Amino acid sequence: MMKAHRKIMIVVLCVLGMYGNGNAQIRNEEVYEFPNLNEENYRYHINIPDIDGYKTLKCDFHVHTVFSDGKVWPDQRVNEAWNEGLDVIAITDHIEYRPYKDIVMGDFNKSYEIAKTRGDAIGMIVIKGSEITRQKPLGHLNALFLQNSNKLDLPNPLDAIDEAVKQGGYILWNHPGWPNDTSTIYPIHRELIAANKIHGVEVFNSSEEYPKVIDWCNELGLAPFANTDIHYTSANLYRGRFVRPMTLVFAKEYTEEAVKEALFSGRTVACYNNILSGKEKFLQSLIKESLSVKVISESKGTIEITNHSDITYQIRYGNLMYAVPLYPNQTMRANIRSGSEVTFTNCVIAKDKYVVTSLW
């Protein structure tokens, strides 16, 4: 009994030693520590399927810090995004608008460098970007995958765009409906798009959707984006993981180079408020990989539809006037005959046009 007792004591002491060395936990008559209350190393998992041999990455390409007009230090932006299940963020502080420049450093690369150090420490991709901030008609443009943001500090915005392109940058047109609540494509945009100097556009920004912008994507070959344009803390800004806007990127692998290749190839879908907006082929693939169908009665058309993703799909079929939800990780029984058309009203391929497909 004594030997057994000694073995138990040794095991207990070893376990306590491991915890003590790793976390310096305290529990005595003076202090109790509760390390379980610290959840900074926990991450939500956003379940969106991979498609067509690509990895589906959840991204935000429009993020501000205190180095422009944001309220949060750059490394905390990385922590927020990782905690909330994102895979990639771009730091895109303004070039022209920096209200805290007397407090923080003036180097336009510094916010990215701070964020990148944190990203490397926790294994998250952080992309260097800057926002070229001008009045309409040009508006605001994010330049992504930059080498040196300081070189974009130029009086003429077209020179700044040329410098970004020279550095291999990807140019994203931000919030085209802001600030005058009018989504207008001006001649300058068409010229830049024709010259391959604008590559993508936000169909959703922060809490605004620009419905006809998806038609511009189809007409002009632009990639659709949904970004937060976040300035404040993310906590409680969006209730629910599929309310927060994010850009889905279909990349060959989880590297910055693969993300860049995917963007230039136009493999994106804008995701916001449980709406998916993009090319029909990508939306069809997401639907296919998200749902499975079990036939209960072929003669009656009775089926069970299971949604294996975290996307709440909205479907309309038969004589239904309104769409009904396919909730995440749940099964819905319905009478939908083989070959019947089903409209996915939250899968937008053009203004007022949605994915229509059969389930079986």
At residue 231, φ and ψ (nearest 5 deg) are -120, -35
Mean pLDDT by 10 residues, the chain (360 residues): 45 42 70 89 95 98 96 97 97 91 84 98 98 96 98 97 98 97 97 98 97 98 98 86 89 98 98 97 98 97 98 97 97 97 98 97
At 143, list the tokens: 């330049």
Quote the CA–CA distance of 53 and 55 in Å, as a whole number.
7
User: Is residue 249 a contact partner of residue 267, using CB atoms and an 8 Å limit?
Assistant: yes
Q: What per-residue confidence (pLDDT) applies to 242?
A: 73
Strands 342-350 and 353-357: antiparallel
Q: Which CATH number fits domain 55-278: 3.90.226.30, 3.40.190.10, 3.20.20.140, 3.30.420.40?
A: 3.20.20.140
Quote the CA–CA distance of 127 and 139 in Å, as a whole number.
22
Q: What per-residue confidence (pLDDT) applies to 53?
A: 98
Q: What per-residue confidence (pLDDT) applies to 18?
A: 42
Quote the CA–CA distance of 172 and 65 in Å, as a whole number.
19
Q: What per-residue confidence (pLDDT) applies to 24?
A: 62
DSSP string, 264-315: HTT-EEEEETTEEEE-HHHHHHHHHHHEEEEEEETTTTEEEEEE-SS--EEE
User: Is residue 125 a contact partner of residue 87, using CB atoms and an 8 Å limit?
Assistant: yes
Domain boundaries, the chain: 2-37, 55-278, 290-357
Q: What per-residue confidence (pLDDT) applies to 12?
A: 40
| % helix, strand, coil for the chain, step of 5 | 25, 30, 45
At 49, list the tokens: 């399927």
Angular region, 279: left φ>0, alpha ψ -120 to 50, beta rest: beta
DSSP string, 70-107: -SS-HHHHHHHHHHTT-SEEEEEEESS--TTTTTS---
Q: What per-residue confidence (pLDDT) applies to 27?
A: 82
Q: What per-residue confidence (pLDDT) applies to 8?
A: 43
Quote the CA–CA distance of 242 and 240 in Å, as a whole number.
6
User: Is residue 51 a contact partner of residue 286, using CB atoms and an 8 Å limit?
Assistant: yes
Quote the CA–CA distance of 352 and 337 in Å, as a whole number.
25
